[in-house]
Each structure stands twice: as C-alpha cells, then as structure tokens.
Structure 1
C-alpha cells in the first residue's frame, strides 16, 4: 500500500488547537491518581483504550469516580500499537480495543484473563472542516466529484496497518470505488484521533474518522460530518478484556462499563449498544 504520511509541525499546532489531543502522539495519557488508605498517592490502574474513546471514556471514568470513589488512568492510542505493547510487557490492567480480533489474539496467547466482553459497536463518518471544498455526505458522492475535479489534495484516515478505524476507512473507500483515486492524497494518522486532527486542520479537505470523535465538543464546531453506511465495511465490534495482572479497581471499572449509566454515555457519543455473538 502506498500512502503519504503528514507530519508537518503546522499540522500539529493547528490540530492541537482543534481537538486538544496532542498531535503526533501515539498515546495520550490522562493521569489520574487514587489515594491509599494512609493518604499517600499511588498510581491508579492503567486502561489502554482505543483513541476513538477519548471523549466517551473520559466521561465514563469521571462518572465511575463520582459513583465509586475509585479512579483509573486512561491511556489513548492505536489498538494495534497497544496490542504490541501488551506483548512486550506494558503494565496495563484493562485493554479496550477498537476491533475485537486484537482481544481474541491476545487471549489465545495468554495475555488476558478470558475472551472479554463487547462494549460497543463503532461507526465511521466522512468529515470536512468548515470552508472546505468537500461536502460531507455518507455516500461519498461529493468526494468522488472533487477527486475527479482534482480538488482533493489531502484526505486523512488512520493508518490501516495498525488502526482498526483506518482499516474500516480503507474498506469503505474500496467499496465506493475511490481507494485508488484517493490513495495519492492520503495523510495517515498514527491513530484515529490524529486522523481527526489532520481532517479538521484546514490543511486537509476532510477525512474519515470515528463518529465518537466527530461528536466531540470541539469537532462539532469545526466541521460537518455524515455517517458512512454500516454495510460498506466490516463491523467495528469493540471488545474489552482484563489483563492477567488486573487488580480490583480495574475489575470494578470493567464491571462499570456494563452499567446503564456507562452505556448511556457511550450511546451519546455515537456507539451502538453491544450485542454479543
């Protein structure tokens, strides 16, 4: 696969203002600490979470803390990169993947306690910043027209080689028959959050990102988006699993993800409720 990766500092600075997610970083950590009984702080368990969860899971974690008094550390990044880090001994206690196949592989290899649970189904959207020549429509008719007219210079997706949302973007573009035309213009985000930064930077005409990020507070004011048909790509069945070293707080957060309150928050950010196989 041939593609162009965008890394100019101008992209990163402008994207940082748009989404505040730290452009260029593979992992964004939200440091949260919980006190010991004696009052001295200690590290909270680390949750490795797909970057499409940035807004939704941060809100769930805040509700978890308010309801239980317990806290977790959220680390957001590419599902594929997290899987590789887990195999190398990264000290995560819970893995929330954007594609359940990564959980299945880790479970077969003995890194997780069990096969875990589905927690959501994700959706992808075509997004374009205000002022772009590109109109956001889920059927990608305008994208096809703008590509034909030579008006698309940069189009952002996550890297399909390790980011499930990038792979689904590729599948949708192939389904629409636009992959070959758009490929020379691709800018690849390390994860879908970075792809969102590039798509809304004003230096790209648009991109394909997670619906959950398009529904974030900043993105909604910066651009327009439209859902891409679910049957244009493989489903984004998102699964979570406790790792072998998970402690009681990680276990409690895992259980909390199944509560009505957590699922209501997830639905607000465009995730479909999980349906077990």
Structure 2
C-alpha cells in the first residue's frame, strides 16, 4: 500500500513538473479600454493553463506603430477591426488568427451623480467647461466620440471645450479627477455586473457611431509560442466570455 501511495505521489509531482515545464509567458498589447477585463481573465488563464499573461496597455494606433517598429508583442487585442486587418494584410500576424473578441460600447460619463441625464442632453446645454475624449487619431473610442458629436451637430460648438487623452484611460482620468466635468469613455471602465459603478452616464445608442468591433490576432513574434495560441483559444471560451459580458461588452 505504501509502495502504491509513493508511486501515486511521484506521478503527481511529475505531472506538476511537466505542467510547469510547458508553461510559458505571452506578451500582449491590450487596448486601454479592455484593461479591467483582461486583468480578470489573466488570473483565470494562469490558473487554468499555467501560462502567464504579461500585458501592456495603450491606444490602438500607438500599438500599431510599436508593432511595425519591432515591439516584442505576441498577441494584440485591438480596440477596432481595421488595425488588425491592416497588420494581417502587411504580413505581421499569424494567418487565420484574427477574430472579434468583443464589441465595445461608448458612454458619456461624469463623476458627479445626476450630472449626465439619461438622454445625454447635458451635451447641448453647454454649461460645462471641458469635455474629455480619447485622441480620435489613435483611439477608436475617441473616433466614435467625434462621430456622435457630428451626429448631434455639436462638433463646432464643443471644439473649444475638448480635452484629449492619449488613450481612453487618460480620457477617463480627466473626468474622474474633476479636470473635465464629463467625457466620452468606454462603458467597460465605469460598468460592472449590470450597473454603472459610480457617477452618472448616458449609454450612447450604437446607431450614433460606427460599431466598435474589437479584434485580436496572434502576431508573428508569437507564432512559435504555445502560450499565445492558448490565450487566443481561452478568449474564445465560455469563462472569458462571462467576464467580457460582465463589463458591458457584447460578443
């Protein structure tokens, strides 16, 4: 009996050692709006697969430039679908790895309770000094914000009030710090488990801007890394899907 128990323990230790041996790291460029969900997913991913996710956060356009300049990213989680498609055409990715992992939602948000009404009419009153958005040239959520303003006929009116963040995280910081009374941010930044976590918000109807279809792909540098393939597979699974939906994204 003792002999059998010893063999069983040896087998368990060997399995654990093999799992550790095959575990790896994956370097991931993550669009700033997806920082909270990917941090939650990373914990489950490491627990379930043994692989470690190492993330960098920023604007999609900036990541494109970094990837073209040789940055060591192996997986790219973009905030749009045009940038991954462009990288794919330019031979910067593993063929067939591109897929949509989330569809984002834009929200007009203020850190003040009751400041933003349910229809976003606060934008038309003009009784605010600053409106924060992400840089529309590099951040898809910033581009969507400009489309909303154009749809409302407010582009020229609000131009003097605009404060641009380098990415959607900085756009949120301008509002949460009080440097801007309100701003267009990603719903995922102020939403969890079915409700706005603080302040007041208007969830912008999807027909007011082009769809924020967020795509991911494995980059050339991740082609030989099993952890990169494992992450992409994990993002397509039910466990990650639940996390993504809990932050207000659609799938």
1:143 shift after superposition: 1.6
Query: Could you say which residue in structure 2 is the equivalent of 1:234?
Result: 210
Corresponding residue SS for 2:55: strand
Cα pair 1:127 1:136 within 8 Å, conserved:
no
Q: Quote the RMSD (CA, aligned, Å).
A: 2.2
1:81 shift after superposition: 0.3
Correspondences of 1:126-141 after superposition (within 5 Å):
126-130=108-112, 134-137=115-118, 139-141=119-121
Corresponding residue SS for 2:52: coil
Q: Give the length in aligned residue pairs.
A: 230
Query: Could you say which residue in structure 2 is the equivalent of 1:16?
Result: none
1:224 shift after superposition: 1.5
Query: Could you say which residue in structure 1 is the equivalent of 2:34?
Result: 53
Question: Given the two structures, how large is their TM-score scaled by the length of structure 2?
Answer: 0.86
Cα pair 1:158 1:194 within 8 Å, conserved:
yes
Match of 2:124 among 144, 162, 187: 144
The 2-side partners of 1:227 and 1:268 are apart by 15
Cα pair 1:159 1:167 within 8 Å, conserved:
yes
1:203 shift after superposition: 2.3
Cα pair 2:192 2:248 within 8 Å, conserved:
no
1:203 equivalent to 2:179? Answer yes
The 1-side partners of 2:234 and 2:113 are apart by 41
The 1-side partners of 2:248 and 2:215 are apart by 16
The 2-side partners of 1:77 and 1:159 are apart by 11
1:216 shift after superposition: 5.6
Q: Please identify, of 55-64 and 219-228, the stretch whose mean Cα deviation from structure 2 is larger.
A: 219-228
1:221 shift after superposition: 5.0
Corresponding residue SS for 1:110: coil
Give the structure with higher Rg (CA).
2
Correspondences of 1:1-277 after superposition (within 5 Å):
44-114=25-95, 116-130=98-112, 134-137=115-118, 139-145=119-125, 147=126, 151-215=127-191, 220-246=196-222, 247-273=225-251
The 2-side partners of 1:228 and 1:131 are apart by 18
Question: Given the two structures, how large is their TM-score scaled by the length of structure 1?
Answer: 0.78
1:43 shift after superposition: 8.1
The 2-side partners of 1:114 and 1:226 are apart by 39
The 2-side partners of 1:192 and 1:176 are apart by 21
User: Any stretches of 5+ residues in structure 2 without a counterpart?
Assistant: 1-16
The 2-side partners of 1:142 and 1:266 are apart by 29
Corresponding residue SS for 1:203: coil
The 2-side partners of 1:136 and 1:248 are apart by 48
The 2-side partners of 1:165 and 1:216 are apart by 19
User: Any stretches of 5+ residues in structure 1 without a counterpart?
Assistant: 1-35
